[in-house]
Structure 1
């Protein structure tokens, strides 16, 4: 155990809770929060950059109601294959991110992201597409 974090097979400086399903070849950077408590699937070959936070729960309603709403809400997150999530991005509960999508650094993802779509900003919005039509050439990102 490093720095009081539970051990995980991905990065000794990441906090992984619950039982997320994480595909082969996925890399998880340091200082990440990977919350599998509400159901989390991360596909194969993803890069989850340092500082990313993926949440499958929210205690907001419980808090603001003075605990009259006694439930911690939970909804699963699904992240496709070969997805790149930039440093310090946040993925909120209930979101699906399609295959080969890119989430820009610092983005806050509050709704689904289509495959091969580039999103950025707060809240995250579409800013481009991923073009994989010429595999021998460098991959390109086309901005919206």
Structure 2
């Protein structure tokens, strides 16, 4: 027994709070799923191993020597059919649109539009997602262009 709270997704995942997780979503081992500030994960998502999703922050409380007594919280919403790569971090208050891709190791601090690939630290648009039945393409985004503007 791992000592983690039981959950129906992966015995090696730490899931706290009461997140709403859609049908057919897969959650890998060694993930931290923080639903304490409100978390919705859509249907058909893959949350890869080592992903951390945070809906709270103790930063203000810590650096103020506890003068800021509250733990800051903001909900996270992840749309349907979103892929989150290994070891990515999603920070509180973020919304990720349907059919988006978060690259491995990315740190998501801003909203991600639907059908957008984000990579890096902090995460930035790198490509779009084009779906035509079983044919899926990821055309690169021109640096400085808005998501949806393919190269």
Give the TM-score band, short-chain normalised.
over 0.9
- Paired position in structure 2 for 1:139: 136
Structure 1: gaps (5+ residues) = none
Between the aligned partners of 1:31 and 1:130, the Cα distance in structure 2 is 27
Alignment of 1:60-75 (within 5 A): 60-75=59-74
- Paired position in structure 2 for 1:51: 50
Is residue 5 from structure 1 mapped to residue 24 from structure 2 by the alignment?
A: no
- Paired position in structure 1 for 2:149: none
Secondary structure, aligned partner of 1:7: coil
- Paired position in structure 2 for 1:23: 22
> 1:135 offset after TM fit, Å?
1.2
- Number of matched pairs: 141
- Paired position in structure 2 for 1:130: 129
- Paired position in structure 1 for 2:82: 83
CA RMSD of aligned residues (A): 0.6
Between the aligned partners of 2:11 and 2:107, the Cα distance in structure 1 is 25
- Paired position in structure 2 for 1:94: 93
Structure 2: gaps (5+ residues) = 142-151
Between the aligned partners of 2:62 and 2:2, the Cα distance in structure 1 is 28
TM score, norm. by length of structure 1? 0.96
> 1:4 offset after TM fit, Å?
0.9
> 1:30 offset after TM fit, Å?
0.1
Runs of 4+ in structure 1 displaced over 4 angstroms? none
Between the aligned partners of 2:68 and 2:36, the Cα distance in structure 1 is 19
Between the aligned partners of 1:70 and 1:4, the Cα distance in structure 2 is 29
Between the aligned partners of 1:21 and 1:102, the Cα distance in structure 2 is 20
